[in-house]
Amino acid sequence: MKVRTNKYYITDKNVSFVLPKIRGSARVGVGKHAYKLLEIYAGFDIETTNINQVDADAYGWHAYAYHMQLTLYTDKEKYVYLFRYWDLVLWFFDHIADVYSLGPDTHLLIWIANFSFEFQFMRRRFKWDQGEFDFFAKEERQPLKATYRGIEFRECLAISGGSLAQLAKDYCTTQKLITEGPNGEKISDLDYSIERSSETPLTDQEEQYCINDVVILAEFSEYIFREFIHPEHYIPMTKTSILLLSFKRRFKALCKNRDTKYHLPPQTSESEYQDYILRCFPEFETYKIWMNYLFRGGFVHGDATFAGIEVFAKMKDITSHYPTRMNVDYFPRTPFVKWDQTNGLLTNQMKKALKSKCCILHCIFDYIDAVTDHSIESKNKCVQALGAKWDNGRLLYADYLEVYLTELDFDIYTKFYKWEGVTILSFETAERGKQPPFVLDILNKLYIEKNDLKKRGLNNTTEYAIKKSGVNTCYGAEVKRIRTEQALYDYNEQVWYTKDTLPDFEKERRKQILLPQMGIWVTAHARHELLTVIHKLITNKKHPTPVYYGDTDSIKHEPSHKAEDIIKHYNRRIAKRLRKRGLRNINFDDLGQFDNECKGRVVKFKTLGAKRYIFEDEGKIIATVAGMPKSAISCIGENNEMIFDEFSLAGFSLTPEESSKLTTRYNDQPHDAYINGVLMHEESSVALFKIPFKITITDEYNEVIEGRKKKCKL
Burial class (CB in 10 A: 0-12, 13-18, 19+), 217: buried
pLDDT of residue 57: 46
- Cα dihedral 280/286/287/289 (nearest 10): -140
Asked if residues 99 and 72 have their Cβ atoms less than 8 Å apart, the reply is no
Q: Would residue 14 count as lying in a domain?
A: yes
Which pLDDT score, from 0 to 100, does residue 442 have?
A: 94
Residues 315 and 171 in one domain: no
pLDDT of the residue at 56: 38
> Position 423: which residue type?
T
Q: Residue 634 belongs to a domain with what CATH number? A: 3.90.1600
Q: What is the CATH number of the domain that holds 70?
A: 3.30.420.10
**What are the DSSP calls for 506-555, one per residue?**
HHHHTT-SS-HHHHHHHHHHHHHHHHHHHHHHHH-SSS---EEEEETTEE
User: Is 107 inside a domain boundary?
Assistant: yes
Residues of the chain with pLDDT under 70: 1-4, 54-59, 180-188, 257-268, 342, 501-503, 713-714
Report if residue 200 sits inside a domain: yes
Query: Same structural domain for residues 306 and 221?
Result: no
**What does the DSSP assignment read for 205-216?**
HHHHHHHHHHHH
How many domains is the chain built from? 2
Cα 620 to Cα 391, 598, 660, distances in angstroms = 30, 11, 20
Domain co-membership, 230 together with 321: no
pLDDT recorded at residue 49: 95
Domain range enclosing 313: 301-326+519-661+697-712
Are both 220 and 308 inside the same structural domain? no
Q: Give me the pLDDT at residue 180, please.
A: 63
Residue 261: its pLDDT value, please? 46
**In-domain check, residue 190:** yes
**Rounded Cα distance, 553 and 320, in Å:** 8
Looking at the structure, tell me whether residues 109 and 186 fall in a common domain. yes
Please tell me the predicted confidence (pLDDT) of residue 322: 96
Which of 192, 210, 237 is the endpoint of a domain? 237
| CA–CA distances in Å: residue 42 to residues 70, 80, 333, 363 | 7, 9, 45, 55
pLDDT for position 674 = 94
Task: Mark whether 322 and 225 lie in a shared domain.
Answer: no
144 domain residue, yes or no: yes
Q: Three-state SS for 698?
A: coil
The three-state secondary structure class of 590 is coil
How far apart, in Å, are the Cα atoms of 556 and each of 367, 466, 527, 581? Answer: 31, 30, 16, 30
Last residue of some domain: 222, 237, 252? 237
Q: Looking at residue 45, what is its pLDDT? A: 98
Same domain, yes or no: 310 and 201? no
Distance (Å, rounded) from C-alpha 497 to C-alpha 501?
A: 13
**CB-CB contact of 302 with 613 (8 Å):** yes
Residues 616 and 701 in one domain: yes
Contact in structure between 141 and 666 (CB atoms under 8 Å): yes
Looking at residue 502, what is its pLDDT? 65
List, for residues 564-595, the tens digit of each pLDDT value.
Answer: 999 999 999 999 999 999 999 999 999 999 99
| 446 located within any domain | no
Per-residue pLDDT tens over the stretch 5-17: 799 999 999 999 9
Q: Same domain for 313 and 170?
A: no
307, part of any domain: yes
* 278 within domain boundaries: no
Together in a domain, 115 and 194:
yes
Domain's final residue, options 206, 237, 268: 237
Q: What is the pLDDT of residue 58?
A: 46
- pLDDT at residue 161, rounded to an integer: 87
In terms of domains, do 40 and 180 share one? yes
